[in-house]
Structure 1
Amino acid sequence: MSYPPPPGGPGGAYPQGQGGWAPPPQPQPGGVPYPQPPQAAPGHHGHPPQPPITAPGWPTAPHPPYPHQQPPGGGGGNQGGGGSGLKKVVIGVVVLAVLAVLGIGGLAAYQALGGDALPTASGDAQGEQLLSADDIEELLDGRSQALKSGDEDTYLAPFSGEAKDTQKSLFENLRKIPFTQAEYSVLKTTGSSTDEYGDGATIALDVAFVHKIQDVDVRPVSEWYRWIIKRESKDAEPQITKVGPSPGAYGSKGYVFYPAPWDLYEDMHVVKKAHTLTISDKKYATDTDRYAPYIEKAAADDIELWKANGPEDTETPTGFVTVLEPDRKTYSSLYGSPYVDWEAGQSVAMPTFDAGYGGDQKDLEYGGARVKMDTSGSRFTNATYWPKLVQEISHHEFAHAIVQPLEATGTFVTETNARWWVVEGFADFVAFRFDTELGAWSVRNDVTGKEFSGTLPTSAGSGDEVSTDYTVSYLAIRFIAEKSGTAAALRFVADHYRAPKQLDQQLRDATGMGESQFQAAWASYVRSHS
């Protein structure tokens, strides 16, 4: 989901602390210079830069933006030049609407679209069969076992040419991740498995890399590849000559979750801490090492908040993966997720590999999430306030990641998805709980003196409306917490994710008010802060 740009537009700055708070000077991040993110391509849906907002005594330093996706989710930052003020950033959970419409995920989705069993390469009476189902299974199982044991030579044996070079770095990168499950599974084969003309057999094999990262994923998730496999003759071994993303699922490359950081980076740098894996290209290791403790602090905060106040009957992650990337082109390609030009980060929801198809109806739609952040913006480069800003965006994104697995199977469609104000309001509620000054500042700057319709937002607006819509959504969750307690607010969020159609009853359980009455009481609460 997405998080809106902070007020102030490009070049916004983090405000000085109020009420006597004054942070000590912090060292400015070093390492490789971070380029400014490019503008979105013509026609891309995004939000235009907002006019700068100034406040007496505030430092002036560039500040970054967050992304706006459908449906949005949370984070912070702004891109580009100088100025003052704080531009709230949009960070988004990218959801698979098509998967949700079908009510299925991963392998099951592929099966459902195909009708019956997955198509496989088969023999032909006209020629000699060179690639049987057993041959394909042996290739897949061999890579899975070699990855598990750390046998690089065996893993690479069937790859040839350029594919061998890229798979060598992929293998070494994957070995840096604490997987509890990592295996290759066939999705679909196309082409001829027989030697009809004496030139061997060649097939395209769509492969799911099914994986589960320790503490991060509550169910296995997948990334989809296409392997080109050729076998010259019965006396020759099958060779994998080309590896790339599966060409698309449901008409879009965005549903194959390629590339992951292990595909992009020749040498992937991984900082492992108790609740986080923070990943970047090795050339950005100095900066990644600097940011990682603050990302870890935010993760520990969010997990402890949920553990202490969240409902006990929820299956939620206890760790997070975060990819830090300053190059805008590389950042925008991660996981194949859509983005907008002012985006600073996303929480990308990863569907469970085979939930909801021929299995338990209680299977989870999403097995986990992957967070990515654009480190070229001032939330990471602000010389004085970057530690607080890095924690702010991390608190917001991790809040999304915690509750995403609660999403009920098949619910993420237009009429039945979790309400935007609940999704975004919760993420901001978590972020501002750990930075009350920033929360108070956001209310003053996003609500005071601004037009207010008195209706709960259904999406982020545009321009100046974006920050206001996020902040009044934050006030909705804060209103529930002040009226009924933090535990009641978190229970409300969890219940709503699991059964979005039951909002009225969920509000009655949390506040004693139905939807209409709650909206009126919330509107009065917002106006009391304006």
Structure 2
Amino acid sequence: MPPVPEAGGRTAGGAPSSERPGSAAGSGSAKGAAPAERSEAERAADAAAVIARAEAVVAEAAGSGGLYTRPYGKPHSYLRDRSHPGERRTKRRNMLVTVAASIATALVVILLVGTGMIGNPTDTGNTADRPRQAADDGPRVRAPAGGNTYHPDIPRREMEAVIADRSRALAGRNADAFVAPIDPAATNLLAEQRRLFANLTQIPFAESRYVAPADPGPTPSDLETAAAQATAAAPSRPTADIVVSFVHRVEGTDPQPVAENYRWTFARASAGAPLWLIAVSAAPYVSVTYPMPWDQAALVVEQRPHVVLFASVSHKSKASGWADKAETAAQRDLAAWRGPQLPVTRFLVYVTPDRRTFNEMSESRELANADGVCASLAPNTVVPLGDKTTRWTGCRVFLDGAGEAFDTRNDTGFMSLVEHELGHAMVAGFAAVRAQPPTWVAEGFAESLPWSDPRLSNGHVEAVREHLADGKFTGRLPTDADVYSPDPDTAAASYHYAMQAIRYMAKEFGADKAHTFVAEVYRDPSRLDAALTAATGLDRVTFEQKWSAYVKRNPGS
């Protein structure tokens, strides 16, 4: 096919055109009108609203157990040594609440500056988007949020043209056009982006495109100031950043599109010179899903009816066998399901090449004994803080390819791991983004799948028997605090008791009742008691009495 032209006239071969456009017309002349003076009462009201929003962020993080930098749900993990599943989880919870408080404090400061409550009392506007001078590049204007920066010699329309060209190059499977905008001197970036292209073209995307999210852009006065700084400072070369979303939907695994957010940095030697992409990184200030598996090492992709499995090319000889086993696990889970129609029946699984990559992908550094994580993805839309209806769309299952479950002699461990994590992925789409189910329901259901599979043997027995023998069993359904207990015996037993609650429900009242209960609690955790009664005909107290008797009759089984 003919080469795809790059923005401003560069062809797929990367040669600059003699007709490249220059800087934006009129970018350094107009001035914006000063905003109207706000009363002290108005500014105080704005400040109070900002503080309330920040407090809500902290409260939500403390209540739900997590504030993540990715639009992921609370990741559900499968633990290598399941006799100690709660180890390190409390540290992670406390860390996330602390991070939430820090973010909220920063939000208060940033937004109060914007309302004029902090900073120079004579300042008339948001200082967050004022131009700043960088030591190693041209003056840039920071956007109020989202990570964009601006330069009068790099119009946004030119960057957007490059973004559109990249979408066309990916759709046309044109590798040269895909990397054409990259600075030839950026050899590492060129190699990384060629590898990215090779990875992306193996994946069964139902849709994929690069877009620049809407941005208010700089004011005319911002650009005038930046132009004045450029004239005075004469830096090495002008640069500008733009947030770019890779909006995509993997066939069968994602009911709706999701977005991976990057920050692209552009540079040109001077006004009218060729525009080059010089860096790609995670987008700051916005929810990000970077990196995704395709941003890592070169991939091999194995497709099965219910599984799309990614593995590093270093595991190429093993990937097909893993995909076959994962497909078997998926079929077993799907065959066991007796509840309402599932949101998805195909699952994306990434077997990481090493522990470092697993940690980076799963953000499970505080779960040192986790071998697998299922991370739910939010749809490519804004989810307001109080939204209880927008649901997760698709999941990414990350497995530690260097973990014990991948020992060739441990087939049972592998199947238990995958059945558990795919169990989470099966039902994740029932849940609202901002209304997560209790841990005992989520982990109990996922663990019930391998435990109910007669072909697999399982652990926990000794720890649970000891917990019962020591009189530590309370007869109450485990709370999140129980599952996340710093005491490893309590955590291990609680994990097992959660599984036994779902198994007991399925045995006594039918798998259809148990699985419908799980789906209903995912949909609305506040209706747990009503869903329990609908499934069993019992109130919570009576159910707990009967379930606790079952636990004592079947210690650790």
Task: Give the alignment's TM-score, normalised by structure 1.
Answer: 0.70
Q: Quote the offset at 1:130 in angstroms.
A: 3.0
Name the structure 1 match of 2:76. 73
Name the structure 2 match of 1:353. 380
Residues 220, 188 of structure 1: alpha-carbon distance in 2 compared, 3 angstrom cutoff: same
Q: Does 1:396 align with 2:420?
A: yes
Q: Quote the offset at 1:495 in angstroms.
A: 0.5
Name the structure 2 match of 1:515. 540
What do the CA deviations read for 1:143-179 (whole angstroms, capped 9, x no partner)? 1121122111111111121322211111111111111
Query: Which letter does structure 2 place at the counterpart of 1:398?
Result: L
Query: Which letter does structure 2 place at the counterpart of 1:504?
Result: D
Pairing of 1:407-486 with structure 2 (within 5 A): 407-411=431-435, 417-435=436-454, 438=457, 442-443=460-461, 446-447=464-465, 449=469, 451-459=472-480, 460=483, 461=485, 462-486=487-511
Q: Does 1:208 align with 2:245?
A: yes
Does the 8 Å CA contact 1:121/1:133 hold for their aligned counterparts? no
Structure 1 alignment gaps of length 5 or more: 1-68, 79-85, 102-111, 250-254, 412-416
Name the structure 1 match of 2:326. 295
Q: Does 1:405 align with 2:426?
A: no
Separation (CA, whole Å) in 2 of partners of 1:176 and 1:456: 45
Task: Find 1:268's aligned residue among 280, 285, 299.
Answer: 299
Does the 8 Å CA contact 2:249/2:258 hold for their aligned counterparts? yes
Q: Using the aligned pairs only, state the percent identity.
A: 27
1:207 aligned counterpart, secondary structure = strand
Query: Which letter does structure 2 place at the counterpart of 1:135?
Result: E
What do the CA deviations read for 1:179-228 (whole angstroms, capped 9, x no partner)? 11212222477898775426654212122222111111112122221111
Residues 525, 317 of structure 1: alpha-carbon distance in 2 compared, 3 angstrom cutoff: same
Separation (CA, whole Å) in 2 of partners of 1:388 and 1:187: 45
Residues 409, 278 of structure 1: alpha-carbon distance in 2 compared, 3 angstrom cutoff: closer
Query: Which letter does structure 1 place at the counterpart of 2:308?
Result: L
Residues 291, 486 of structure 1: alpha-carbon distance in 2 compared, 3 angstrom cutoff: same
Residues 122, 497 of structure 1: alpha-carbon distance in 2 compared, 3 angstrom cutoff: closer
Query: Which letter does structure 1 place at the counterpart of 2:254?
Result: D
Name the structure 2 match of 1:232. 269
Q: Quote the offset at 1:338 in angstroms.
A: 4.4
Task: Find 2:289's aligned residue among 241, 257, 262.
Answer: 257
Name the structure 2 match of 1:321. 348
Q: Does 1:285 align with 2:316?
A: yes
1:183 aligned counterpart, secondary structure = strand
Does the 8 Å CA contact 1:147/1:171 hold for their aligned counterparts? yes
Does the 8 Å CA contact 2:146/2:243 hold for their aligned counterparts? no
Pairing of 1:25-40 with structure 2 (within 5 A): none
Q: Does 1:367 align with 2:393?
A: yes
What do the CA deviations read for 1:351-406 (whole angstroms, capped 9, x no partner)? 11105469x98542x211111111323322152xx222211110000010111111
Name the structure 2 match of 1:30. none
Q: Quote the offset at 1:504 in angstroms.
A: 0.9
Name the structure 2 match of 1:31. none
Residues 284, 89 of structure 1: alpha-carbon distance in 2 compared, 3 angstrom cutoff: farther
Does the 8 Å CA contact 1:121/1:132 hold for their aligned counterparts? no
Pairing of 1:39-188 with structure 2 (within 5 A): 71=74, 73-78=76-81, 129-160=152-183, 161=186, 162-187=188-213
Does the 8 Å CA contact 1:72/1:420 hold for their aligned counterparts? no
Name the structure 2 match of 1:18. none
Does the 8 Å CA contact 1:406/1:494 hold for their aligned counterparts? yes
1:279 aligned counterpart, secondary structure = strand
Q: Quote the offset at 1:449 in angstroms.
A: 3.3
Name the structure 2 match of 1:305. 336
Separation (CA, whole Å) in 2 of partners of 1:332 and 1:222: 21
Residues 180, 72 of structure 1: alpha-carbon distance in 2 compared, 3 angstrom cutoff: closer
Residues 435, 225 of structure 1: alpha-carbon distance in 2 compared, 3 angstrom cutoff: farther
1:351 aligned counterpart, secondary structure = coil
What do the CA deviations read for 1:102-121 (whole angstroms, capped 9, x no partner)? xxxxxxxxxx9999997797
1:367 aligned counterpart, secondary structure = coil
2:178 aligned counterpart, secondary structure = helix
Does the 8 Å CA contact 1:345/1:372 hold for their aligned counterparts? yes
Higher helix share: 2
| Higher RCO (CA < 8 A, seq sep 6+) | 1
Residues 327, 119 of structure 1: alpha-carbon distance in 2 compared, 3 angstrom cutoff: closer
Separation (CA, whole Å) in 2 of partners of 1:425 and 1:207: 39
Task: Give the alignment's TM-score, normalised by structure 2.
Answer: 0.67
Separation (CA, whole Å) in 1 of partners of 2:75 and 2:195: 34
Does the 8 Å CA contact 2:264/2:277 hold for their aligned counterparts? yes
What do the CA deviations read for 1:497-518 (whole angstroms, capped 9, x no partner)? 0100011111110001122222
Query: Which letter does structure 2 place at the counterpart of 1:260?
Result: M
Separation (CA, whole Å) in 2 of partners of 1:436 and 1:171: 41
Q: Quote the offset at 1:433 in angstroms.
A: 2.1
Residues 376, 434 of structure 1: alpha-carbon distance in 2 compared, 3 angstrom cutoff: same
1:354 aligned counterpart, secondary structure = coil
Separation (CA, whole Å) in 1 of partners of 2:368 and 2:335: 33
Which structure has the larger Rg over C-alpha atoms?
2
Residues 172, 71 of structure 1: alpha-carbon distance in 2 compared, 3 angstrom cutoff: closer
Separation (CA, whole Å) in 1 of partners of 2:288 and 2:412: 34
1:219 aligned counterpart, secondary structure = coil
Query: Which letter does structure 1 place at the counterpart of 2:393?
Result: G
Does the 8 Å CA contact 1:302/1:399 hold for their aligned counterparts? yes
Query: Which letter does structure 2 place at the counterpart of 1:396?
Result: H
Residues 136, 164 of structure 1: alpha-carbon distance in 2 compared, 3 angstrom cutoff: same
Separation (CA, whole Å) in 2 of partners of 1:272 and 1:392: 21
Separation (CA, whole Å) in 1 of partners of 2:149 and 2:241: 13
Query: Which letter does structure 2 place at the counterpart of 1:141?
Result: A
Kindly report the root-mean-square deviation, in angstroms, between the aligned alpha carbons of the 2 structures: 3.5
Residues 201, 356 of structure 1: alpha-carbon distance in 2 compared, 3 angstrom cutoff: same
1:464 aligned counterpart, secondary structure = helix
1:373 aligned counterpart, secondary structure = strand
Q: Does 1:332 align with 2:359?
A: yes
Separation (CA, whole Å) in 2 of partners of 1:433 and 1:72: 23
Q: Quote the offset at 1:418 in angstroms.
A: 0.9
Residues 187, 429 of structure 1: alpha-carbon distance in 2 compared, 3 angstrom cutoff: same
Separation (CA, whole Å) in 2 of partners of 1:424 and 1:212: 27
Q: Quote the offset at 1:409 in angstroms.
A: 4.0
Structure 2 alignment gaps of length 5 or more: 1-71, 101-110, 116-142
Separation (CA, whole Å) in 2 of partners of 1:377 and 1:215: 28
Query: Which letter does structure 2 place at the counterpart of 1:406?
Result: F
Separation (CA, whole Å) in 2 of partners of 1:123 and 1:229: 10
Query: Which letter does structure 2 place at the counterpart of 1:243?
Result: V
